[in-house]
Structure 1
Amino acid sequence: MQRKKALWPQRRSTTQARRKRCSICHDLDPRGHASSVYNSESEKAVLANLSVVLDLFSLAKTKDLREGGCRFCNVLIQALDALSIGWNGSSRRAFMHLQEKGTIQIELDNEKWRGELVEMYAGSASRAPWPTLGTAQHIPSNSGSDDTFNFARRCIQDCMTNPSHANCRLPSKSSGSSPRRLVDVGRAAAPIRLIDTQGKSFEYAALSHCWGSAPSLTATKSNWKKLASNIPFEALPPLFQDTVVIVRQLGLRYIWIDSLCIIQDSVRDWETESAKMGGIYENSYVTISATSSGDGNARCLVDRQKPVRLRYENTNGKETVIRARKTREHHPDKHESTPAKPVGRLMTRSWTLQEHVLSTRVLHYTDTELLFECRTSFRCECRPSRKPYPTTPSFIPRAITKSRKTFSAVWNAWHRIVEEYSKRDLTVETDKLPAISGIAKKIQGTTRSQYLAGLWEQNLASDLLWSTSLTALPDAHYFALSSYRAPSFSWASLNTPVTFYSPDEDEEDTLTSLITLISSSISVSGLNPLGAVSEASIKLHGPSRHGTLISEQREGLWAYTLIMKGTTAITISHDCLLVEDKIIPEDETAESKSNGVMEIVARRAQCGDRPTPFKASVLCLGVARYDSWISGLVLGASTTDRGTFERLGTFSTGSEPFQRAETEELEIV
């Protein structure tokens, strides 16, 4: 619980009481500050926490100790000089968090060091230089050390044997989700080789990694038989070599590596095996996540940056050593129900999100320490005790458990996953739907809902109302794709981060769908029924109104205003840049057609189009009602598929404009 400073007596030494605290660093003491907060699990143990903003310009000007400067600021300067070179010229401020009997953490407010923390702590509790500074858990200097492997084995063993980890029990394996091939890492004189599982069940690990410019060794039609005979250790990329060592250290014999266990130049084999990836990761004994490795040449068993030693001199001239190290903010937040946040190149890749979400157990090899997640708890080398924090592997199982009567928690989980997924990068653009199909399969297995190219029939109104935020994105995000990947009503049709509206609990009960799905048509382009699509459309029945969309520039950005008769102007959330186009109206006479009468419509801009001001006819479809307001889609007449519509963006307005709206049947492609 939290209590304000005024409710608790200040505990200060006589020396502290006699002199004023430093205005910059507050003598690195979390107590007695106007912002101090006292946390306590019981009335007997009151500990202070303090978060402040450091003025780095003032800190850098701190005088030498011999000239009466602050000895505590001096320690801060030593730490930043050693671990954040150039800090005094690159940042204006830093955020510092002090915890009584704990560590001191400093985060520079600069993109260069985003997510990185400088952590200061005492070498031992018996020799702490001042009473409020605590110690920190030792982290081995190499991720391949005996201590780190012992930590990994303890985490996995505890998860496998602890009765409270019922959610971590592996599901019964089915032939439909078992990998066709595995890498046998060898025993004694036996070689490393690729094996065909022939439908049998094996205990195996799985690797989650970045391909980068592609691994130097992949399975192909021409070499897989050779790989099934012998793979020399030295022929493996450095990352795969480290993976073999990890698998052996964990007491396992087999591992699934996508680049070796899928025939890369066989379309049929890739589509068949990639469709099973969700089950492959879920059924693995553990997923080895090469979180900080950018490609196959970047090892995960590496030396870590060692802590630095800082000199602190007290008022009596006695010198004490303090330690500081570079770490990253990765811990879960139980109060905010947010899981651990591993930092590394892997966390930016699209394919690896479902590998993280669907795995039962994960070992994250980051550049600072080893993290462990399962469906029940989280542990890391700096906090090795088991904690029942929310984790990414528990995200979908928890949502499924909550959705015993309705699937609202599952739909909310899907929205949060798509939001994260849409921020990530793809090497092959057509992989947008295949790379999340494993999660979609899990959702479908629970809800039995029809999958509509990234949307769900049972939650269609909410799913249709995704929106983009385009004000601070690279130019590529402002345009539609040059080739077809998904229908315009799907978020997968664009390369841009998307968000879904999240109503609070009271508002969620008032949500009313205004649309009815009449029919849908989804043409899958491969063997994966939840993967890539070649064509898709939905026919909806719902309230609609005709309107005019006006394009104009505001402060260098294009904005689009919707005008409907009887309403004030509405600024829409546009999907990407829009441009005008022309079509022949359907209801025009043959004579007017011959005279070239054309209707001005709007469409999504493609790379090479030049946006200009315009006024275009659009159709506004009311999709859902929340209390007294309505959200819907702004649709433009398709210029390529006559009689159908394409999505341009979303709008929100009061319910009045739709009280007399006509109910129409329309098709969106």
Structure 2
Amino acid sequence: MDHAQLGKDELTWALVQEEWPLCSDCDSRIQHFFVGGSSNRVTFEYDEFVEACNVTECALCSAIIEARDELILAENTTLVAGQGARSQRLITIETTSPSMLKIDINREFLDSYKFDIKSDDEHGNLTPEVVSFMKTQLSLCLSDPSHTKCRVDAGFGVEWPARLLHISSTGRDREALEVRLVNFQDPMMGSFAALSYCWGSREEHERNTPLQLNASTKDLLRAGIPASRLPLTLRQAVAVCRQLDLEYIWIDALCIIQDDPSDWMAEAKKMATVYSMAKITIIATGAASSYDGFLKSDVNSAWLDSPFVPPARLVAQRYCTSGFHTNRRLHRPESSDPIDSRGWTYQEELLSTRLLRFTTDDVQWQCNTHSACVCGQPSWNEELYRPRDERESGKPPEWRDLMPHFSHRSFTFAVDRLPALAGLARKYAHEHRPPPGKPDLVYVAGNWQHQLQPSTASPHCGMLAWKSVHFLNPSCYRDYVAPSFSWASIQGYLIFDGTVPTVVLSEVLDVGTTLAPPRGDPFGRVSDGFVSLRGPVIPCHIAAVQNDEPGGKWFTRITIDLVAGDGDRANMPQRLRIQNCYWDCPVSWGESPKGDAFVHRSVTEPETASFGKAMAKIIVLLYGNHEDQGSRFVGLVLGREPDGKRHQRLALVMMESLDGPVVDVEKLNQFNQVVMIA
């Protein structure tokens, strides 16, 4: 085998068996880490490490030296002590890049699961070891009596899909598969797989349209076609089902009539049932499109496999960085798998009872009771590695906690944004249904009506107080998706503000949406919406000037000034000063029929163009305390819709009082107005 060059920007790790004899230097450094915790990582240079150790007696030194000899480690490699998720001792060799390699010297892990050398087979890493892993995990979940949280009954609100794909062999060749579209029948309940995957970009589909269920292909699919005619991602999902002895699979592109809007709406409403009641959900995490495939031929291919003393094996493989092993602290987009950026796949994962993830460099299992991965390496993120039910402490997640993980995701069709949450919304409504005699929860374009209103009884400042954090340039959709007060109207990294209300100053009077179509899914698409608020309103000026600073923000610098400034208290409810302003998206300047200048969201430009002063308003939602930024007022900056008729949300603004922490509620109430935000 050719020696592999391990350069400056790569990383290895080693699991050390507890009974191994270690020299005093190794022992003290590793033990020091575990006593001190992850904040006390101990770093030292390789040459310093070797010089300080007794090579002839220390198993860890021997392993590291052999690794360097075999892999030709860079001379300036750094050793870092770090904690393993399922080990008692861990040493890593690292520098800076997420391009990584691992050295595993824990014999038990290697004897359990190990990938083969790179193969040119279409089914890539679907090796006997991986197939055994999949079957073992599925069988364990289905048979182990301790997996009570994985037993999902066909209870309230279950709507089975109209169709599934039946998988069978063609003739005598068991490996030659065909799929046939069949109507759903009761015996199929809970005995099918579901696929979660990326379709790919709209441009890619227009350039090379994959096979879909539509009016022209319905008869063809009913008659059955060779699986080889399917796009690679779908074809490989069928192969996984075959290995797991599953006869049926649900794939949206082939089980929903794509050119029939009524069928699409009817079947899209059944997502919660499809994914929660499937025997397993196959997540094609590493595939960017339906043509990519997810069974990678070089996933964790062994670079080095040799024995050494004490009895064990030294195996070098790529360091896994996806799924459980994603280092969330790095905040690197390239560290995420393609599926992590797509909208539909978010609820598909959360709704599923059992997940089988095929990431870019690993195969991982997760159910409501147990998690496991083929590679066996420790997890960067223990929270990701735990079973989902354990992470959530058995409680349904708060709706506001879902938004930051969903808001940045993209869609082939922007109008699918709300439907892609409908299954989760339907499940949430069921799990939080009020007692008999109480009104049902009202869902409003990605929000719950009762959560819009801030309250001093809650540590949260309401679902109106969301803001962009600019990790990804936020943008406003060209197509109508949601009213501007809703976070669903913006694509970008969004979070809710952390101010804890002590005085609530605005009241939600009314809220509503118009469904699209009018009698459509109450959790689905909308064509219009509004919220009416009554609260203190402060006039302000908005202007945009070109930002010439190197490394400046993504948009032209937008300034906002209170009309009364820091001056006459008679013209202000309280002397205030702008502290921070979080713009939702680029904005544009407009002019009303009367010649008045106003500001509105821009749906055509990626950046804000310069413009002079224009009038706007701030409605003050609340006064409260922020853990890091102290006491402050929180409000919404309001412009106008492009036609100038209704108010439109532009930003979330923080203001500090120049009169101290006392809030003159009576004075503020004199400035109350009713505003409608569309």
TM category (shorter chain) comes to: 0.7 to 0.9
Q: Aligned partners of 2:276, 2:393: CA distance in 1, in Å?
A: 12
2:426 partner amino acid: K
- Cα distance per residue 1:370-419 (max 9 Å; x no partner): 2111122212224499x99644477678333xxxxxxxxx4xx3223211
Among 323, 347, 353, which residue is 1:354 paired with? 347
1:193 equivalent in structure 2? 180
Give me the whole-angstrom Cα distance separating, in 1, the residues matched to 2:315 and 2:506.
Answer: 61
Contact 1:636 1:645 (C-alpha < 8 Å) held by counterparts: yes
* C-alpha distance in structure 2 between counterparts of 1:156 and 1:523, whole Å: 41
- Where structure 2 has 5 or more consecutive residues not aligned to the other structure, the ranges are 1-18, 50-54, 56-60, 117-123, 172-176, 433-439, 454-461, 566-571, 626-630, 657-661
Partner of 1:516: 508
Q: 2:301 aligns with which of 298, 306, 324?
A: 306
Partner of 2:467 in structure 1? 467
2:523 aligns with one of 520, 530, 533: 530
Asked if the contact 2:641/2:647 (under 8 Å) is kept, the reply is yes
Report the alpha carbon displacement of residue 647 of structure 1 after superposing the two structures with TM: 0.4
In 2: Cα distance, 1:239 partner to 1:426 partner: 18
> CA RMSD of the aligned region, Å?
4.3
Alpha-carbon spacing, 1:81–1:651, altered in 2? closer, same or farther (3 Å): farther
Q: Deviations over 1:451-479 (max 9, x none)?
A: 11112101003111110023x53xxx355
| Aligned twin of 2:447 | 455
Q: Quick one: higher RCO (CA 8 Å, sep 6+), 1 or 2?
A: 2
CA contact (8 A) 1:102 1:121 kept: no
What amino acid is the match of 1:601? F
- 1:270-669 aligned at under 5 Å gives the runs 270-303=264-297, 304-309=299-304, 322-329=314-321, 330-331=323-324, 344-383=337-376, 390-392=386-388, 398-400=394-396, 410=397, 413-447=398-432, 448-461=440-453, 462-470=462-470, 473=472, 477=473, 479-502=475-498, 507=500, 510=502, 512=504, 514-525=506-517, 527-552=520-545, 555=549, 556-557=552-553, 558-563=557-562, 565=572, 566-583=575-592, 598-608=595-605, 611-627=609-625, 628-642=631-645, 644-654=646-656, 656=663, 660-661=667-668, 662-669=671-678
2:78·2:95 contact (CA, 8 Å) conserved in 1? Answer: yes
Q: Which moved more, 1:182-191 or 1:152-161?
A: 182-191
What is the match of residue 44 of structure 1?
A: none
Asked if the contact 2:474–2:490 (Cα under 8 Å) also holds between the matched residues in 1, the reply is: no
Q: What count of residue pairs does the alignment treat as equivalent?
A: 575
Q: What is the CA–CA distance in structure 2 between the aligned matches of 1:233 and 1:638, rounded to whole Å?
A: 50
For the structure 1 residues 168 and 466, does the alpha-carbon distance in structure 2 shift closer, same or farther, using more than 3 Å as the test?
A: same
Please list the CA deviations of residues 324-344 of structure 1 after superposition, one character each: whole Å capped at 9, or x if unmatched: 2113244389xx9xxxx9952
Contact 1:539 1:667 in 2 (8 A): yes
Query: For residues 226 and 259 of structure 1, what CA distance do their matches in structure 2 show?
Result: 14
Query: Cα 1:610–1:344, aligned 2, differ >3 Å: closer, same or farther?
Result: closer
**Secondary structure at 2:241 match in 1:** helix
Contact 2:77 / 2:94 at 8 angstroms: preserved in 1? no
Matched residue type, 1:243: A
Cα distance, 1:208 vs. partner? 1.0
Given the alignment, which residue of 92, 102, 122 partners 1:119?
A: 102
What secondary structure sits across from 1:228 in the alignment?
helix
Cα distance change, pair 607–56 in 1 and its aligned pair in 2 (3 A): farther
Structure 2: distance between partners of 1:312 and 1:148: 23
- Indicate the residue corresponding to 1:139 in structure 2: 114
CA contact (8 A) 1:621 1:635 kept: yes
Deviation at 1:650, TM superposition (A): 0.7
User: Once the two structures are superposed, what CA deviation does each residue of 1:517-565 show, in whole Å capped at 9, x if it has no partner?
Assistant: 3242333347332222111112222232223335445634414334254
Other structure's SS at 1:186 match: strand
Using the TM superposition, give the Cα deviation of residue 210 of structure 1 relative to its aligned residue in structure 2, in angstroms: 1.7
Call closer, same or farther: CA 1:492–1:107 in 2, change over 3 Å. farther
Instruction: Tell me the percent identity.
Output: 23
- Distance in 2, matches of 1:320 and 1:143, equals 24
Q: Residue 545 of structure 1 aligns to which amino acid in structure 2?
A: I
* In structure 1, distance between residues paired with 2:149 and 2:561: 49
How far apart are the structure 2 equivalents of 1:321 and 1:544? Answer: 71
Rounded Cα–Cα distance in structure 1 between residues aligned with 2:46 and 2:260: 57
Given the alignment, which residue of 192, 217, 234 partners 1:204?
192
Point out where structure 1 has 5 or more consecutive residues left out of the alignment.
1-10, 22-28, 41-47, 60-64, 126-133, 401-409, 585-592
8 Å Cα contact 2:506/2:622 also seen in 1: yes
Q: 1:331 to 1:30 in 2, by over 3 A?
A: farther
User: CA 1:72–1:159 in 2, change beyond 3 Å: closer, same or farther?
Assistant: closer
Paired residue for 1:43? none
- Partner Cα separation in structure 1 for residue 335 and residue 279 of structure 2: 20
Say whether the 8 Å CA contact 2:429–2:441 is kept in structure 1.
Answer: yes
What is the one-letter code of the residue matched to 2:488? A
Q: 1:290 to 1:136 in 2, by over 3 A?
A: same
Q: CA deviation at 1:230?
A: 1.5
- 1-side partners of 2:528 and 2:516: how far apart? 7
SS in structure 1 of the partner of residue 491 of structure 2: coil
Q: Distance in 1 between matches of 2:43 and 2:604?
A: 43
Q: Aligned letter for 1:210?
A: C
Residue among 147, 158, 162 paired with 1:165: 147
Distance 1:135 1:253 in 2: 32
Counterpart Cα distance in 2 of 1:30 and 1:613: 65
1:204-223 aligned within 5 A: 204-212=192-200, 213-214=204-205, 216-223=210-217
Distance 2:512 2:210 in 1: 43
CA distance in 1, matches of 2:242, 2:287: 20
Counterpart-to-counterpart distance in 2, 1:394 and 1:450: 29
Report what 1:24 is aligned to. none
The residue number in structure 2 matching 1:184 is 166
State the AA in 1 paired with 2:151: R
Q: C-alpha distance in 1, partners of 2:63/2:91?
A: 12
Taking the aligned partners of 2:521 and 2:192, their CA distance within structure 1 comes to 24
Q: Matched residues in 1 for 2:600 and 2:44: separation?
A: 49
C-alpha distance in 1 between matches for 2:666 and 2:45:
56
Q: Distance in 2 between matches of 1:251 and 1:522?
A: 46
> If the length of structure 1 is used for normalisation, what is the TM-score?
0.74
Q: Using the TM superposition, name which of 192-201 and 460-469 deviates more.
A: 192-201
Q: Partner letter of residue 158 of structure 1?
A: L
Deviates more, 1:191-200 or 1:387-396: 387-396
1:452, 1:522 within 8 Å by CA — same for their partners in 2?
A: no
Q: Is the 8 A contact 2:578 2:654 kept in 1?
A: no
What is the rounded CA distance, in whole Å, between the counterparts of 2:92 and 2:545 in structure 1? 47
The answer on whether the counterparts of 2:586 and 2:608 sit within 8 Å (CA) in structure 1 is no
Question: For the structure 1 residues 478 and 182, does the alpha-carbon distance in structure 2 shift closer, same or farther, using more than 3 Å as the test?
Answer: closer
Distance (Å, rounded) in 2 between the aligned partners of 1:287 and 1:601: 49
Classify the secondary structure of the residue corresponding to 1:347. helix
